[in-house]
Amino acid sequence: MEKQPLVSIIIITYNSSEYVEETLDSALAQTYPNVEIIVTDDCSTDTTVEVCQNWMNLHIDSGIAMKIIRSEKNTGTAGNCNRGLYNAKGEWIKIIAGDDILLPKAIESYVNYVSSSNSIDVVFARLAKFQGQKSNYTTIEESETKYKNIFFLDKNTTAKKQYKILCHTFVGSGPTFFVKSSVLREVGGYDEQFYLQEDYPMFIKLAKNGHRLYLLDEVLVLWRKNEKSVTHIKQNKDVLFGSHRIRMVKEYKYEYLRKELNTVWRGFLNFSLWLQNKVIDSGNSYNSSKSLFYFYLYRLFDPFIWYSRILSCRDRLS
């Protein structure tokens, strides 16, 4: 029998003490036997490290290799992912946040899928959102990752075409990302310039380097809607853009896109940033008429939104 490849399950944590045991339990409960569990912590100020160490001590006889890597300073999600990557021994990498859940057959399904073809080294799956404890969770939306561009993952869409699409609209799902470790190292790991935006720049980099992105059409991950998460979309119902969007506009300025765009599309990006800055600087609130005015201008005239809409229409007509 062909040896089963080692899969490194990398659990990235930052102040994750409330839920991380559930994530660890889900990693241990995998039906696929050849895994290692790595927790990489980004200088948590709560008891995350202690909770993880106690859990590992309790499961020391499981036969699964486990380790905790702790940073002495906060480096952001990208740096945290890189620590896991460069400490991993597995042929394949599954990174998961310390408040999400792997379904029991997740790793088995990933490995079976990538084993079906030597050309597959980057995979997305589908996920389901949920709230609350895993033992009593409420599913919000099955298969949240709709992949708004079916064309993006069509069997005839090359990595070169995927790269072009990714430079103009977001496609992908970080929580379901499964990848060959050598491929991540080959492209230089995660870009730590964008310390809380690890996934999108990586997807662009992979496609640019000729790695086609595949979809395993199965729900394998439960993504927890956690208001304490550093990438939680909105703090309250009144804001137009959440903290993650504001960070992309104000701090990152979509630089991971700019360097990939031609002159015309760089101009479009400047226009898009101007509109989004106007929304934010005018109050970023549904209660502000000025914010709403710029928000609707953004939704009506942003070239990147229109690019995504055109691709969506193409999907419906295909």
Under DSSP, the state recorded for 226 is -
Q: Which of 194, 224, 254 is a domain's end point?
A: 224
Do 120 and 162 lie in a common domain? yes
Dihedrals φ, ψ of 46, to 5°?
-105, -155
Q: Say how far apart CA 130 and CA 297 lie, in whole Å.
A: 33
The domain spanning residue 36 has which CATH number? 3.90.550.10
Residue 309 is predicted with a pLDDT of 87
Instruction: Give the containing element (helix H, strand E) for 124.
Output: strand 122-131
Tell me the average pLDDT across 144-167. 77
Within a domain: residue 237?
no
Within a domain: residue 115?
yes
Residue 148 is predicted with a pLDDT of 46
Q: What is the pLDDT confidence band of residue 143, given thresholds at 50, 70 and 90? A: very low
Number of domains composing the chain: 2
Q: What is the pLDDT confidence band of residue 228, given thresholds at 50, 70 and 90? A: low
C-beta atoms surrounding 149 within 10 Å: 22
Q: Where are the alpha helices (DSSP H) in 29-180?
A: 48-58, 76-87, 106-114, 159-166
The amino acid that residue 7 corresponds to is: V
Do 155 and 249 lie in a common domain? no
Do 49 and 149 lie in a common domain? yes
pLDDT > 80? residue 158? yes
Q: What pTM was estimated for this model as a whole? A: 0.91
Q: Say how far apart CA 33 and CA 164 lie, in whole Å.
A: 38
Length of the chain: 318
Do 213 and 297 lie in a common domain? no
C-beta atoms surrounding 189 within 10 Å: 18
Within a domain: residue 230?
no
Do 248 and 212 lie in a common domain? no
Q: What is the pLDDT confidence band of residue 147, given thresholds at 50, 70 and 90? A: very low
